[in-house]
Chains A and B, each alone.
Chain A
Amino acid sequence: MADIKNSISSNTGILSGNASGTIQNYGDHERELTTLNLGPTHPATHGVFQNILQMDGEKIVSGVPTIGYIHRAFEKIAERRPFYQITPLTDRLNYCSSPINNMGWWMTVEKLLGVKTPKRADYMRVIVMELARITDHLICNSILGVDTGAFTGFLYVFQEREKVYEIYEEICGARLTTNMGRIGGMERDFSPTALEKLRKWIKEFPAVMREFESLFNRNRIFMDRTVDVGPITPERALNYGFTGPNLRAAGVDYDVRVMNPYSSYQDFDFEIPVGTKGDTYDRFLVRNEEIWQSLRIIGQALENLPEGPYHADAPEYYLPPKQEVYRNMEALIYHFKIIMGEIDAPVGEVYHSVEGGNGELGFYLISDGGRAPYRLHFRRPCFIYYQAYPEMVVGTSLSDAIVILSSMNVIAGELDA
């Protein structure tokens, strides 16, 4: 019996196994189930969380996920912070697509305050959010490749993510923890260099994307590892509260951008790709297709980028440009009031959601008229996906469990908040 246990540990080569004492009979011999701690620091868990798997040989019998290793008490911290200071909390949720989180937060506050953003700001936001979606999906899909043993695709697209980060840098000065929005619009207009880089990138990127797809889409090894692996039915996905690419892969065409358009998504022509089986391969294909759709949206937005102001005329909420603060008394006063959190927020409650890289990212804000939210709750798609994980991996093998997790794009920052 001990030999079997040892051979399981050495065959999988992953962490330590210890016998749970459960004995099952298999014909004329009996063996013990193995408890396997997958995580919290295993690279294939895409962050810090743990899965305690019960293994019968290579087969998973049950799984218990444990999360909370990087819980940072966002919701509690938000109860003491003025609206502007909550932005840095949001972009650390899904750090692969920070701008979407930021914009989602601004839009929630704008809804509460009744601020209407001008068209140009909306289009600029759409461009940035779609860029973020592309990078998010690129990383998810390429790491799925890495988890199946194919490293090349990852190297290809990581370069592209760098280029997108350079565009962010040109727009706002930051790369990862972006903070390019304001209540009422954008912090500054796109510079000519930013626009030039954007145009250049959307022209050059499709070739790389096609190459990436050709590496995987009909790749025999990749398909063997992903087709029919970890499928979920539309009914189960809905019951589990799935949204975003994972739900669409199961065949439900729910997309917040279409169902509840925000930031002028209604102006753009794009399709919602859906899968049929909800398996790992479908999730991969849906994300790839969404990248093409995002490119379409960015192309349209750049082509029709309206002239005009890039922020609303709402001095009591919109942080004035720094140069103005030095020269103009009113700007100085508003700057002071906004920074010190003296924005008069109306009493009320608002729920606003955006289509994040991973699905519906919702902000539920209760305001009691104070300087900070009375209660702020983030609806985090990863938190919702991950509870379905045990159901999805039972009956599969350990190597399947890795790719299923990878294809769900579970990101620890968003999972643990």
Chain B
Amino acid sequence: MEPLTNQILLENLTKKFGDSLFDIWEPYGLLTLTTTRDSLLPLLEYLYHDEYMQMNFLTTMCGVHYPEKQDAELGVVYHVHSLVHNVRIRIKIFFPIEDPRVPTLTNLYSTANWMERETYDFYGVIFEGHPNLIRILNVEDMNYHPLRKQYALEDGTREDKVDTFFGR
């Protein structure tokens, strides 16, 4: 079997999803690309079920927030791995923060269940079709999504608080 390379991987994907792939680059050797919300699930299903590539291991996924990107403020990053070929790919999607809907991957990967709950918890991304989309690490009655950039951590240099007791 011919070893899978980033080149072949990209060719295969371009053939099928050429119109919906953007920002293709290879930071530190890892093929990275952005796709659209509609193509995400077909693309991952294709990678999963393709007999040659067998990219069926979802290593990790996480959210990311770029407040300055108009209509693409929120994003989700997936790292998928082919254990047979030992090749990884990083797939991203971006969408408006007003409409944070993403298809769930739980039917494809069981491991996506908690990862999606974590991303929902931190960024408020709604994974459509998720069987149990509730907070996982934070308390249930929290009414915001803390990893979004508008919730800055306390600034160590601020002077409007006198908190000598806390050693600052």
Residues of chain A touching chain B, judged by Cβ–Cβ distance below 8 Å, are 67-68, 71, 73, 75-77, 79-80, 111-112, 236, 238-241, 252, 254, 259-260, 348-351, 353, 360, 362, 364, 366, 374-375, 377, 379, 383-384, 386-388, 416-417
Contact A349 B32 (CB under 8 A): yes
Interface SS, A side = mixed
The answer to whether A241 touches B138, judged by C-beta atoms less than 8 angstroms apart, is: no
**Is the C-beta of B137 less than 8 angstroms from some C-beta in chain A?**
yes
- The answer to whether B111 touches A76, judged by C-beta atoms less than 8 angstroms apart, is no
**A360 B62 Cβ-Cβ under 8 A:** no
A75 to B138, CA, bound (A): 13
A374 partner residues in chain B, CB cutoff 8 A:
64
> Do B57 and A238 touch (CB < 8 A)?
yes
The complex places the Cα of A309 from the Cα of B135 at a distance, in Å, of 48
If the complex has contacts A349-B32, A351-B88, are A68 and B153 also in contact, measured as CB distance less than 8 A? Answer: no
Q: Does B12 contact A (CB under 8 A)?
A: no
A351:B56 contact, CB within 8 angstroms = no
How many A-B pairs have beta carbons closer than 8 Å: the answer is 86
* 12 A-B pairs (CB sep. < 8 Å): A68-B137, A75-B147, A76-B146, A80-B153, A111-B28, A241-B59, A241-B111, A350-B27, A366-B64, A377-B60, A379-B59, A383-B118
> Which residues from A are CB-within-8-Å of B58?
241
3 closest A-B pairs by beta carbon, nearest first, are A241-B111, A379-B60, A377-B62
Q: B6 at interface (Cβ–Cβ under 8 A)?
A: no
Q: Which residues of B contact A416 (CB under 8 A)?
A: 137
Q: Is B52 an interface residue (CB 8 A)?
A: no
Q: Is the CB of A239 within 8 A of B110?
A: yes
**Bound Cα distance from A350 to B77, whole angstroms:** 12
Instruction: Answer yes or no: B109 CB below 8 A from chain A CBs.
Output: yes
Report whether B88 and A77 are in contact in the complex, using a CB–CB cutoff of 8 Å: no
Check A364–B137 contact: CB distance below 8 A.
no
| Cβ of A344 to closest chain B Cβ, rounded Å | 17
Residues of B within 8 A of A379 (CB): 59-60, 79
Asked if B83 is at the interface (CB within 8 A of a chain A CB), the reply is: yes
> Could you tell me if B109 and A239 are in contact, using CB atoms closer than 8 angstroms?
yes
- List A contacts of B122 (CB < 8 A): 75
- By a CB distance below 8 angstroms, the chain B residues around A366 are 64
Instruction: Give the residues in chain B near A384, CB-CB below 8 Å.
Output: 111, 114-115
Say whether B30 faces chain A, with CB atoms less than 8 Å apart: yes
Residue among B30, B86, B109 making CB contact with A241, cutoff 8 Å: B109
**Whole-angstrom CA separation of A241 from B115 in the bound complex:** 11
Contact assessment for B86 and A73 in the assembled complex, using a CB-CB cutoff below 8 Å: no
Bound form: Cα–Cα A111–B30 in Å: 12
Known: A351-B30, A384-B114. A259 touches B86 (CB 8 A): yes
A68-B138, A241-B111 in contact; A79/B153 too (CB < 8 A)?
yes
Does B72 interact with chain A (Cβ within 8 Å)?
Answer: no
Which residues of chain A have C-beta atoms less than 8 A from B32's C-beta? Answer: 349
Asked whether B137 lies within 8 Å of A387 as measured between CB atoms, the reply is no
Bound-state CA distance A256–B146 (Å) is 32
A349 to B66, CA, bound (A): 15
Indicate if B113 sits at the interface (CB-CB under 8 A): yes
In angstroms, how far is the closest chain B Cβ from the Cβ of A89? 13
Quick check: A364 and B62 within 8 Å, CB to CB?
A: yes
Q: For the complex, what is the distance from the CA of A79 to the CA of B122, rounded to whole Å?
A: 14
* Given contact pairs A241-B58, A349-B27, A364-B62, A254 touches B111 in the complex (Cβ within 8 A): no
In B130-158, the 8 Å CB interface with A consists of: 135-139, 146-147, 153, 156
CB A47 to nearest CB in B, in angstroms, measures 14
Question: Which residues of the partner chain A approach B109 to less than 8 Å between Cβ atoms?
Answer: 239, 241
Give the Cβ gap from A188 to chain B, nearest Cβ, in Å. Answer: 29
Task: Using A68-B137, A241-B58, A259-B86 as known contacts, list a sample of 11 further A-B pairs with CB atoms less than 8 Å apart, ordered by residue number in A.
Answer: A68-B136, A71-B138, A75-B147, A76-B153, A79-B153, A240-B111, A350-B27, A350-B28, A362-B60, A379-B60, A384-B111
CB distance from A332 to the nearest CB of B (A): 23
8 Å CB interface, B63-92 against A: 64, 77, 79, 83, 86, 88, 90
**Cα-based distance from A71 to B122 in the complex (angstroms):** 12
- The docked-state distance in angstroms from the alpha carbon of A80 to that of B118 is 21
Measured in the bound complex, the distance between the Cα atoms of B111 and A67 in whole Å is 16
Say how far B153's CB is from chain A's closest CB, in angstroms. Answer: 5
> Which B residue's beta carbon lies closest to that of A259?
B86
- Give min CB distance, A388 to chain B, whole Å: 7
Contacts of B86 in A (CB 8 A): 259-260
Q: Is the CB of B27 within 8 A of A238?
A: no
**CB-nearest residue of chain B relative to A362?**
B60
Q: Mark B32-44, 1 if CB is under 8 A from A, else 0.
A: 1000000000000
Closest to B146 in A: A76
